[in-house]
Amino acid sequence: MTNSNYLIEVSDLHKNFGELQVLKGVSEHISKGEVVSIIGPSGGGKSTFLRCLNLLEVPTSGKILFEGEDITAKGVDIDLHRQKMGMVFQHFNVFPHMTVGENVTMAPVLLGKKKQNEAVDMAKALLERVGLADKYNAYPQRLSGGQKQRLAIVRALAMEPDVMLFDEPTSALDPEMVGEVLNVIKGLVKEGMTTVIVTHEMGFAREISDRVFFMDGGVLAEKGSPEDIFSHPQNPRTKEFLSKVLY
């Protein structure tokens, strides 16, 4: 069942918070270079699912293979795996006590991936790409929401991850800043970055995804190509959800 083309394989994933069953058996795989969007109503377990992939949430049961290795097994050094899984959060979570440059260089230098001067060069190049070159020495407090999120993306990219996980990266942004962040993500996708994105931007999901998952009530209630999901949804829950979000 293990396919070397799969970057992430999830089997029968369950997650409970106390009595509350949030994930009720999710099995899926994500191939190298694949772009997957996860859509669905609030509270359906999208964030929990994404956060299980890098073990920010510890699954109650089930297995997650990352690059062929079971990261839910005992004794696994999850920190090493996390270095290869970039994550971007709804609320940016940039480090306010570090400059933009330090935000980007801290992890690769501390974790021995890069020497300081190499990290600086890389940070400058990445920041240039997302239009933040002139902010290198600024503190995040001086950045707009869109700029903070672009910084957060660059910070994750600086670890040269094999996959990027986005949890509603534009939900906390003012509308006029959504585009700049989506453009950065689109650029990554074009370069072949394996991407899993939880989003409410349906047009965007349709445009960039190879596959779309509709998550509801802790299960992947429907999955398919963007065409399948958005133009020919089968599940009544999917239809209902889409009718609400696509006025």
Footprint of another protein (CB under 8 A): 54, 56, 79-80, 82-87, 89, 91, 93-97, 106-107, 110-111, 139, 141, 152, 155-156, 159
State which residue, 45 or 226, has the beta carbon closest to Mg ion: 45
Q: Please pick, from the candidates 8, 13, 22, 156, the single residue that binds ligand ADP as defined by CB under 6 A.
A: 22
We find the least distance from the C-beta atom of residue 98 to Mg ion, in angstroms, to be: 26
In this structure, are residues 86 and 79 in contact, taking their beta carbons and an 8 Å threshold? Answer: no
Take residue 38 and report the two structure tokens written for it. 């996860």
Q: How many residues does this entry show for the chain?
A: 247
List the 6-17 sheet strands across, edge first: 20-31, 6-17, 61-66, 69-70
- The reply on whether position 17 binds ligand ADP by CB under 6 A is yes
State which residue, 17 or 116, has the beta carbon closest to ligand ADP: 17
Largest CA distance in the chain: 55
Stretches 17-25, 118-126, 141-149, 226-234: which one binds ligand ADP (CB under 6 A)?
17-25
State which residue, 45 or 59, has the beta carbon closest to ligand ADP: 45
Distance, CA of 199 to CA of 150 (rounded, Å): 16
State which residue, 11 or 90, has the beta carbon closest to ligand ADP: 90
Kindly identify the residues of this chain, within the stretch 27-66, that bind ligand ADP according to CB under 6 A.
40, 42-48
- The reply on whether position 115 binds ligand ADP by CB under 6 A is no
Q: Residue 220, SS3? A: strand
In this structure, are residues 15 and 59 in contact, taking their beta carbons and an 8 Å threshold? Answer: yes
We find the least distance from the C-beta atom of residue 221 to another protein, in angstroms, to be: 27
We find the least distance from the C-beta atom of residue 24 to Mg ion, in angstroms, to be: 17
What sign for the dihedral angle of Cα 130, 132, 133, 138?
Answer: negative
We find the least distance from the C-beta atom of residue 77 to another protein, in angstroms, to be: 9
DSSP state of 39: E
- The reply on whether position 103 binds Mg ion by CB under 5 A is no
Q: Which of 39, 50, 64 is nearest to 242 (CA)?
A: 39
What kind and span of H or E run contains 146? Answer: helix 145-157
Q: Please pick, from the candidates 36, 37, 39, 47, the single residue that binds Mg ion as defined by CB under 5 A.
A: 47
We find the least distance from the C-beta atom of residue 245 to another protein, in angstroms, to be: 26
Residue 5: half-sphere exposure toward Cβ, Cα within 13 Å: 3
| Contact residues for Mg ion, defined by CB under 5 A | 47
